[in-house]
Amino acid sequence: MQKIISKQDLGLTLMLDSSSSPLLAVLVCDGEIYSATKDGIKQEELLFPLLNRLYKKAGKQFKDTKNFFFIKGPGRFTGIRIGVTLASVLAEINATNIASADIFNVLGPAVLDSKDFKKWQAQNPKGKAVIILPAFREEYFVSFVGENNPKWLNVEDLNKELRAIKVPLFLAGWAGAKEPLKKYFGKNYTYAKVNFLTPEILLAAAKKYLGTQSKEEVLTPLYLKPARFELCGK
């Protein structure tokens, strides 16, 4: 539990990433941040026990939720649908304000604002930041920060694409089970020191997107075309 840096009063705000493992839920209440994670791919079974624990810790009830922000992809189909469905229900039944963003638009600003990237950028002004996240087996979701063109690539094609870039690259993200990217992509790049989604990063995204989107925008998930496997196989 940590103090919120910003003094902006959001009211009771729930934030969720159910697009991958671990499941991450964050609750902002009365100037405090409460967070909980749970490993496992069956988020539909893990979600409400996790939320019950979180709301109990904050001394609040689910119906008191004023705002809800969630990661809308890419990731597991079922996990993404959990966030979309919960947002739709909260907005319809509870009049909760809802917002969403894909993981790249959540992590991108945090990467650019990190101390290690700024230090690297000062020495590599023409360099680019890349976010890489695990998709399925030896496949990855990838996006160059600021270019808004996410892809789903197998490790061979991703390595080829990275090698084809003629400017220095700063890689942020993680491989499967939070393994370091360097294990799979070698020593020719600079790697971010922080490779996980924090409650503070999620909160910053919630503040950015709440009140700025139509309901259609919020509930439109980001699904990417698999490199080798059908989406239903995830």
Higher pLDDT: 29 or 137? It is 29
Tokens representing 52?
């019950």
Amino acid at 136: F
Percent of the chain with pLDDT over 90: 78
Task: Strand 128-134: give its sheet, edge to edge.
Answer: 151-154, 139-144, 128-134, 169-173, 190-191
CA distances from 222 to 47, 73, 102, 163 (A): 21, 5, 7, 27
CATH code for the structural domain at 115-191: 3.30.420
Same fold, 2-102+197-224 and 115-191: yes
Answer whether residue 44 shows pLDDT above 90. Answer: no
pLDDT of residue 29: 92
Tens digits of per-residue pLDDT, 190-225? 999 876 789 999 999 999 999 999 999 999 999 998
Amino acid at 100: S
* C-alpha to C-alpha distance for 63 and 31, rounded to whole angstroms: 19
pLDDT of residue 171: 97
CATH architecture of 2-102+197-224: 2-Layer Sandwich (3.30)
* C-alpha to C-alpha distance for 71 and 99, rounded to whole angstroms: 9
pLDDT of residue 230: 44
Residues ≥6 apart with Cβ < 8 Å to 169: 127, 128, 129, 130, 162, 189, 190
Question: What 3-state class would DSSP assign to 140?
Answer: strand
Q: Label residue 207 left, alpha or beta by phi (over 0 means left) and psi (-120 to 50 means alpha).
A: alpha
Tens digits of per-residue pLDDT, 105-163? 999 999 999 999 999 999 999 999 999 999 988 899 999 999 989 999 999 999 999 99
Model confidence at 178, pLDDT cuts 50, 70, 90, reads low
Answer whether residue 1 shows pLDDT above 60. Answer: no
Is 0.85 surpassed by the pTM of this model? yes
pLDDT of residue 131: 97
CB 100 within 8 A of CB 70: yes
Domain borders along the chain are 2-102+197-224, 115-191
pLDDT of residue 7: 40
pLDDT of residue 177: 67
Percent of the chain with pLDDT over 70: 91
Return phi, psi of residue 115, to 5°. Answer: -65, -40
